[in-house]
Amino acid sequence: SNSDFDPQEMEEPLVTTSLTREDENEYSLRPKTLREYIGQEKAKGNLEVFIQAAKMRREPLDHVLLHGPPGLGKTTLSGIIANEMGVNVRITSGPAIEKAGDLAALLTNLNENDILFVDEIHRFNKGQQDYLLPFVEDGTLTLIGATTENPYFEVNGALLSRSRIFELKPLEKEDIKELIHRAVTDKERGMGTYRVKLDEDAADFLADTANGDARAALNAIELGVLTTGRSEDGLIHIDLAAAQEC
């Protein structure tokens, strides 16, 4: 239980170069390139043009705001953008930056051309957004903000005017099914080594109940694989009944 932990260790770090525990389940959503990223065809196409233009100009990327429902892999997408640009990404979130000095400390430790990914950027108060603005204006960093709220209402107008906004939509059922199949077959980033046989009606059920949320679908299939015993043939069979238990 958590009571065994030192409370200091439980504090959320201000900035991290790795993914949060919640994102750990997104193994099959964590591709390295836009081409591998499932779904979001419109946003992906626009991002590809945007990244190529910056590379041709040999300039850092303009700032980006990703907005859309939770569970679509915004953190993953920020990692892809950084990878495509050949720079480092530092990951933080609005709730992790509580004290006035936190943001200053974070910005001081960034290297030139680093991408700063701020999840839930709408949770930054006006003072925090104002403090970030000079760094955004002078190109010290590339900001990628993510928000589930309407950015036109929740994000500072000056930050908005300097950012490209990309809207992410809930995933189509077929995209979710592709993700689920990849999760159970990919030996490197997924659960391919578990030897899973996923019935089509089970995949349909999981894709339907995920309601466009990739993370929910991945969590459900992981739960199914980890809680279903092996059959006599040595495979883990995920049938409709098993899927309904997830």
Q: Which residues are catalytic?
A: 74-75, 119, 148, 215
In angstroms, the CA 62 to CA 46 distance is 13
* DSSP 8-state assignment for residue 229: P
Element of type H or E holding 233:
none
Residues 6 or more apart whose Cβ sits within 8 Å of residue 241: none
CB contact burial 7-27 (16+ within 10 A = b; e otherwise): eeeeeeebbeeebeeebebbb
Beta bridge partners of 196: 236
Closest-CA residue to 28 (of 245, 219, 238): 219
CB 78, CB 145: distance < 8 Å: no
Helix 41-57, helix 74-85: angle, nearest 10: 30
Q: Is 91 exposed, middle or buried (0-12, 13-18, 19+ CB in 10 A)?
A: buried
In angstroms, the CA 176 to CA 203 distance is 9
- Cα 23 to Cα 98, 164, 232: the distances in Å are 22, 24, 33
